[in-house]
């Protein structure tokens, strides 16, 4: 139980709570069922079978006679959902005392395996294979000829009956020859290509993934600092590791700006695990002492200061404070099979989205202009691109990780998805502007961040949980206001949060120039084109319709997601022909004519739109304080 969960109780109440807990639990040091005393569980992982992308796993689990229930992690931190890949586990066998042991799966909980442990057996040995995806259609590809991503939750079983923080694990990994590894785990020893890691509790192990590869570079992001911060880069080819010194300095500035913002560092060391690959599936996943990050192969070699870098590293780094150390109370669970609740995702992810973008700007990884265009894209989304907010609140989208588990949606603008990310970002932008307004610009959301995250003196072994009332109290600690009503009005759909940018001295405008930010996004999407705010659809380079804005011009013309645009005004589809047609329609009453393919049928649709290309930007509001520029400015 995190300390913060019993704060505010009287001394007598604490004693009563503890006594009741002891009586209810029986012996607190004894796991349930056939699990033995708490000797470390060993897990030995073999990741050398790169051609077939199969991971071999062997475990030794202390046990005693009886029925032993072993759990495969189901509810995964960072996923906020029951998404443990148990479908990819095969070849399970259990042995004890030199004999094969019977096991069966709980039909009401398929993540629970029950093993019968005979008398005289004190250790159960488990063996199985984790069959990682061989194609992206099966999930994230995590093994390639030159690198791999090992997530411990995918390759272990643990006994039911104790918190993860009280189950010690001793892990080892046998790597392919020539591979180097990066992880937050400390090395205990090496045996050829096998690395033995120091014993840690299960929760720390699962929170400490591994990246490994042939082509690796470690970059010190905090030279001379008491607390090390490292960038562990793995690439498809060695030349992709070459980074310009000024680009590295911006990454160092990201660390400096984050520490200036949050204060205490809630890790003993931190490792950005970064893959540069077009083979390993990209990723962005937070951990307290590390993060998993995936970028294109030209992240360093194709760096363009005019465009800058995205906010991925800033976002995942922020999670070390918000989400990992300070965690929503209803999201915190004692193990990986207790259901989570996601009601505070607008803080966990929404405020992290806000700070990730702000820190990216403060570090110089993005110019002020590109930072504003990135924000403009978000403002446009929630001003004109999410009609689904008419029926579904931002608060309700916090259930989406469990509802949808990031499955692709046919009409996202109407269904909504994990909108607590960017929608939450705008809620917090509005909070920042309101604090500045109420205090005559003497305080800001920076003060909230320092007060909320700079607690417990850099502790990282235990989480400090928060609830809605704690967030409101922290805001009132910066400046008194009816913050509960302010937040609930925006979260529950009674007030717009998209207009919060205007409180910072800027407003949303459109023109026919996508700008560096959107142009880079479309390039990264391999030639995809964004016509969301004109005819109301997104199209891939091959003409595939990937999204249609609900009740937009294309939607009203009966264009659907999944169709393919074959031609535009009788010319074969290309980004150029579509852009020309949209611009030409500004001065013509004739609708834009598309030939579309729907399964094995083709038809012609007419889109009655004459507003030209529209891409979002921000424009200064004359005579108002420019809070946004101050928000994005580097801190001395």
Does the pLDDT of residue 32 top 60, yes or no? no
pLDDT grade, residue 37 (50/70/90)?
low
| Residue entry with tokens 């109370």 | 329
Give how far the C-alpha of residue 227 lies from the chain's centroid of Cα atoms, to the nearest Å: 24
What DSSP string runs through 291-354?
A: EEEEE-TTTTTT--TTT---SHHHHHHHTTTBTTTEEETTT--SSSSSPP--TTHHHHTHHHHH
Nearest CA among 355, 315, 354, 346 for reference residue 328: 346
Write down the pTM of the prediction: 0.93
| pLDDT digits 0-9 by tens, 312-343 | 999 999 999 999 999 999 999 999 999 999 99
- Other beta carbons within 10 angstroms of residue 313's beta carbon come to 26
CATH of range 41-318; options 3.40.309.10, 1.10.150.120, 2.60.40.3650, 3.40.718.10:
2.60.40.3650
Q: Is-contact 618 511, C-beta < 8 A?
A: no
Report the phi/psi class of residue 358: left, alpha or beta, with left for phi > 0 and alpha for psi in -120 to 50: alpha
Lowest-pLDDT range, 133-142, 302-311, 454-463?
454-463
Nearest CA among 129, 128, 130, 212 for reference residue 176: 212
Which pLDDT belongs to residue 520? Answer: 86
Fold of domain 515-615: Pdz3 Domain (2.30.42)
Give the span between the Cα atoms of 571 and 567, in whole angstroms. 5
| Residue entry with tokens 């993060």 | 291
Q: Is-contact 56 155, C-beta < 8 A?
A: no
pLDDT grade, residue 524 (50/70/90)?
confident
Does the pLDDT of residue 23 top 80, yes or no? no
What DSSP string runs through 11-59?
A: HHHHHHHHHHHHHHHSSTTS-STTB-SSPPEEEEEEEEETTTTEEEEEE
* Average pLDDT for the chain: 94
Q: For residue 18, what are its two tokens?
A: 């503890």
Q: Vertex 618, ends 613 and 623: CA angle to 5°?
A: 135
Does the pLDDT of residue 1 top 60, yes or no? no
Does the pLDDT of residue 274 top 90, yes or no? yes
Q: For residue 188, what are its two tokens?
A: 């205990």
3-state helix, strand, coil in the chain (%, to 5): 30, 30, 40
Rounded to the nearest 10 degrees, the angle between the axes of helix 245-262 and helix 350-362 is 130
The pLDDT of 105-115, averaged and rounded, is 98
Work out the burial of residue 100: count CB atoms within 10 Å of its CB; fewer than 13 is exposed, 13-18 middle, 19 or more buried: exposed
The pLDDT of 385-406, averaged and rounded, is 97
pLDDT grade, residue 177 (50/70/90)?
very high
Which pLDDT belongs to residue 146? Answer: 98
pLDDT grade, residue 596 (50/70/90)?
very high
Give the span between the Cα atoms of 365 and 248, in whole angstroms. 10
Q: For residue 5, what are its two tokens?
A: 């969960």
Which pLDDT belongs to residue 28? Answer: 35
Which pLDDT belongs to residue 590? Answer: 97
Q: For residue 500, what are its two tokens?
A: 């919060």
| pLDDT digits 0-9 by tens, 179-214 | 999 999 999 999 999 999 999 999 999 999 999 999
Q: Where in the chain is the domain with CATH 2.30.42.10?
A: 515-615
Q: Which residue blocks in 141-206 are alpha helix, DSSP H?
A: 202-206
Q: Where in the chain is the domain with CATH 2.60.40.3650?
A: 41-318
Range 32-58 burial, b when 16+ CB lie within 10 A, else e? ebbbbeeebbbbbbbbbeeeebbbbbe
| Residue entry with tokens 């570079």 | 217
Q: Vertex 482, ends 479 and 487: CA angle to 5°?
A: 105
Give the span between the Cα atoms of 329 and 374, in whole angstroms. 31
Give the span between the Cα atoms of 419 and 425, in whole angstroms. 9
The pLDDT of 466-483, averaged and rounded, is 99
Give how far the C-alpha of residue 205 lies from the chain's centroid of Cα atoms, to the nearest Å: 19
Nearest CA among 128, 197, 203, 131 for reference residue 163: 203
Q: Is-contact 542 566, C-beta < 8 A?
A: no
Q: Is-contact 509 527, C-beta < 8 A?
A: no
- Other beta carbons within 10 angstroms of residue 617's beta carbon come to 23
Task: Kindly provide the residue ranges of all beta strands, DSSP E only, lying in 537-585, ordered along the sequence.
Answer: 537-539, 545-548, 564-568, 571-572
């Amino acid at each position: 139980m995190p300390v913060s969960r019993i704060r505010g109780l009287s001394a007598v109440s604490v004693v009563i709570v503890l006594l009741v807990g002891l009586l209810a639990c029986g012996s607190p040091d004894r796991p349930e069922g056939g699990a033995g005393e708490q000797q470390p569980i060993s897990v030995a992982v073999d990741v050398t079978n790169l051609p077939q992308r199969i991971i071999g796993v062997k475990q030794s689990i202390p046990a005693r006679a009886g029925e032993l229930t072993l759990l495969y992690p189901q509810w995964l931190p960072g996923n906020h959902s029951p998404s443990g890949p148990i479908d990819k586990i095969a070849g399970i066998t259990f042995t004890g005392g030199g004999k094969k042991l019977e096991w069966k799966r709980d039909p009401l909980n398929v993540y629970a395996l029950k093993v019968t442990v005979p008398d005289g057996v004190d250790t159960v040995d488990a063996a199985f294979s984790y069959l990682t995806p061989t194609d992206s259609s099966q999930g994230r590809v995590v093994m390639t000829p030159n690198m791999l991503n090992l997530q411990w939750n995918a390759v272990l079983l643990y006994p039911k009956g104790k918190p993860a923080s009280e189950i010690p694990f001793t892990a080892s990994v046998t790597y392919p020859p020539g591979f180097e590894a990066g992880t937050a785990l400390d090395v205990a020893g090496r045996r050829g290509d096998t690395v033995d890691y120091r014993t840690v509790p299960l929760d720390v192990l699962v929170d400490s993934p591994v990246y490994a590869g042939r082509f690796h570079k470690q970059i010190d992001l905090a030279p001379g600092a008491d607390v090390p911060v490292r960038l562990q880069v793995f690439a498809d080819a060695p030349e992709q590791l070459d980074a310009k010194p000024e680009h590295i300095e911006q990454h160092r500035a990201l660390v400096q700006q984050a520490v200036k913002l949050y204060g205490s560092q809630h890790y003993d060391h931190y490792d950005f695990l970064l893959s540069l690959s077009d083979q390993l599936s990209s990723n962005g996943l937070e951990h307290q002492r590390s993060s998993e990050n995936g970028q294109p192969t030209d992240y360093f070699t194709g760096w363009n200061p005019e465009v800058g870098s995205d906010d991925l590293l800033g976002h995942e780094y922020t999670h070390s404070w918000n989400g990992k150390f300070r965690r929503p109370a209803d999201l915190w669970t004692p193990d990986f099979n207790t259901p989570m609740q996601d009601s505070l995702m607008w803080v966990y992810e929404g405020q992290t989205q806000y700070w990730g973008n702000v820190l990216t700007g403060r570090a110089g990884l993005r110019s002020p202009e590109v930072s504003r265009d990135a924000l403009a894209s978000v403002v446009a989304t929630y001003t004109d691109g999410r009609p689904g907010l008419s029926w579904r609140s931002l608060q309700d989208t916090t259930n989406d990780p469990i509802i949808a588990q990031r499955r692709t949606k046919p009409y996202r603008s109407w269904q909504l998805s994990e909108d607590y990310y960017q929608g939450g970002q705008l809620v917090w932008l509005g909070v920042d502007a309101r604090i500045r307004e109420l205090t005559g610009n003497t305080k800001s959301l920076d003060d909230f961040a320092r007060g909320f995250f700079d607690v417990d003196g850099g502790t990282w072994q235990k989480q400090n949980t928060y609830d809605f009332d704690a967030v409101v109290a922290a805001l009132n600690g910066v400046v008194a206001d009816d913050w509960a009503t302010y937040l609930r009005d925006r979260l529950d759909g009674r007030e717009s949060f998209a207009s919060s940018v205007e409180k910072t001295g800027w407003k949303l405008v459109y023109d026919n120039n996508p700008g560096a930010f959107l142009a880079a996004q479309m390039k990264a999407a391999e030639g995809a084109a964004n016509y969301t705010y004109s005819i109301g659809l997104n199209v891939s380079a091959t003409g595939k319709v990937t999204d249609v804005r609900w009740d937009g011009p294309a939607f009203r013309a009966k264009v659907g997601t999944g169709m393919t645009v074959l031609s535009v005004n009788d010319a074969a589809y290309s980004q150029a022909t579509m852009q020309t047609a949209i611009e030409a329609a500004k001065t013509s009453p004739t609708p834009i004519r598309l030939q579309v393919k729907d399964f094995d049928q083709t038809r012609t649709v007419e889109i009655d739109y004459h507003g030209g290309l529209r891409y979002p930007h921000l424009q200064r509001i004359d005579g108002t304080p420019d809070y946004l520029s101050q928000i994005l400015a580097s801190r001395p």
